[in-house]
Amino acid sequence: MTTFLEDTLTRTLRNAADAAPGPGPGFVDDVRHRRSRIRVRRRAKAGAVTAVVVLAGVVLTPRFLLHGPEYVATMPAWSGTAPPPPTDRVPRFADAVPADRVWPRAVRTLPARLPDGRPYSLVRIVDDGRYLVVAGGELLLWQPGAGAPRSLGHPEPPSLSYVVGTAVSGIPAIGAGYVAWVVVPSYPDNAFGGGGTNYAEIWVAHLDPYEPGGRLAIVDNARVEGTLQVNLGRVWWAQAPADQWSEGPPRLVSVPADGGEVEPVPGGQGYVMTGTAPWARRMDAPRDMWNLNDGKHRAVKAASGDDISAFGCSPSWCIGRASSDWHVYAQRPDGSDVVHAAFTGDFSFTDNPDVAVGISPATGLPDEVKQLVWHVPSGRLGWYPHPDDDPDTPEAPGLPYWLGQHGELVVLDPSAIR
């Protein structure tokens, strides 16, 4: 997690605490203090995964930032039926219950470590039983209970004296039997202020049938913006110039998944890919969504006009925050079907366009900040705890997850949430 992202999130939380009713004293200072402590402990995991997750233009919250006194590392044991959705589809903070009670069929449980004893990061659920995990800077396909995970590729770091290895950046993209991901060099903490240089590689491999892959393209003297997509037999992403002399808006590019030349997408200047294929959106404001399959543009209308912040959309829904009182609301992209919530927060859509995850302070007090999963069409709301910060425990950046009673990784599969 980058310092820039953490600083941005801290600033967002500070503004939310200032605007929300009854903020507790020292709330944001506690967040900043916690962030500085974790920065030191996290170095032990430096080679694993660089997960800056931005879906639909809203930043997902890393597990390190908020940890209210009510949270524990495990979810409480429970058996029974899921609670009914609210009749008016309005999510209520006070009514939120543990997420595994709301969607028990979406729960996936993985061992605490890989078969060889290494810790790992879960970065993508392939299907019910197969997972993409990162360990030692390498992307692996793992089916727990079926032997050792299988490597999807063996990136080699650039031959530079200040490069110490490689890391997987962001969330891999899956489509049409392929997986595509971004590989970046990893550097010592003191190199380039911890930021590294502007170099990345796009890698691709086959999932069905399994076949290790290799480097598909090089992104040199540029930065990859947003996420990747695999669609129409091609890998798509946005990149922007990032050297000391040139700055500018991103542009969409694509390359055949089986290899070929990287080509600019006509009309793709200023766009980035969304978390849901085949859609792209304007980088500066998510008011225009572009279907890359049929070429049609969809105008996005904010129901509250300009009284909005933290506004992001999936193909099915948008979530924003009213600037006047910071309450969160959802709407269809055309501005219809508005649902107002009685809490504030930052939310981002998962790869299920009906499901958003995020953080929500009800009052600005540390013990009333929850990580939430919101199924927008039904109004169902579930919370999940912040796991401990031990770098030897598994994690799942970008997914709702927590640790089980014996240290196992428990994850909600967004695709199974209804």
Residue 359 CA to residue 371 CA, distance in Å, equals: 5
Q: Which residues are CB-contacts of 98 (< 8 A; sequence separation ≥ 6)?
A: 75, 76, 78, 382, 383, 384
pLDDT, position 360: 83
Q: Is the dihedral of CA 158, 163, 169, 174 positive or negative?
A: positive
Residue 318 CA to residue 309 CA, distance in Å, equals: 12
Number of independent structural domains in the chain: 1
User: What are the helix and strand counts (H, E) for the chain?
Assistant: 3, 31
Residue pair 357/63 in contact by the 8 Å Cβ criterion: no
How buried is residue 64: exposed, middle or buried, by Cβ count under 10 Å (0-12/13-18/19+)? buried
Cis status, amide bond into 25, omega within 30 of 0: no
Average pLDDT over residues 51-73: 36
Instruction: Judge if pTM exceeds 0.85.
Output: no
pLDDT greater than 90 at residue 154: no
Residue pair 187/164 in contact by the 8 Å Cβ criterion: yes
Average pLDDT over residues 260-271: 94
pLDDT, position 164: 67
Q: Which domain holds residue 281?
A: 3-416
> Closest Cα to residue 372, out of 328, 407, 409?
328
Average pLDDT over residues 394-399: 90
pLDDT digits 0-9 by tens, 340-356: 887 888 898 998 999 99
Residue 191 CA to residue 175 CA, distance in Å, equals: 36
> Strand order in 222-231's β-sheet?
222-231, 234-241, 251-256, 263-269
Provide the CATH number for the domain around residue 262.
Answer: 2.130.10
pLDDT digits 0-9 by tens, 101-152: 999 999 999 999 999 999 999 999 998 799 999 998 899 999 999 989 999 9
pLDDT, position 389: 67
**What is the phi/psi pair of residue 65, to 5°?**
-85, -40
- CA–chain centroid gap for 25, Å, is 30
User: Which amino acid is it at 191?
Assistant: A
Token reading at 87: 């009749």
Residue 181 CA to residue 136 CA, distance in Å, equals: 15
Terminal-to-terminal C-alpha distance of the chain: 30
Residue pair 348/55 in contact by the 8 Å Cβ criterion: yes
Q: Which residues are CB-contacts of 38 (< 8 A; sequence separation ≥ 6)?
A: 64, 389
Q: Is pLDDT larger for residue 362 or for residue 17?
A: 362
Token reading at 196: 């590294």
**What is the phi/psi pair of residue 102, to 5°?**
-80, -40
| Of the ranges 28-32, 180-184, 340-344, the best mean pLDDT one | 180-184
Average pLDDT over residues 273-281: 90
Q: Which residues in 52-63 are b (16+ Cβ under 10 Å) and which e?
A: bbbbbbbbbbbb
Q: Which residues in 32-51 are b (16+ Cβ under 10 Å) and which e?
A: eebbeebeeebeeebbbbbb
**Looking at the DSSP assignment, which residues form a beta bridge with residue 50?**
169
Q: Is the dihedral of CA 16, 18, 21, 24 positive or negative?
A: positive
Residue 270 CA to residue 264 CA, distance in Å, equals: 12
Residue 235 CA to residue 227 CA, distance in Å, equals: 11
Token reading at 258: 């089986």
**Looking at the DSSP assignment, which residues form a beta bridge with residue 134?**
121, 139
Stated length of the chain: 418
Provide the pairing of β-strand 49-50 with 165-175: parallel
pLDDT, position 345: 85
pLDDT, position 188: 63
Residue 116 CA to residue 103 CA, distance in Å, equals: 31
pLDDT greater than 70 at residue 291: yes
Provide the pairing of β-strand 309-313 with 271-273: unpaired
pLDDT, position 243: 59
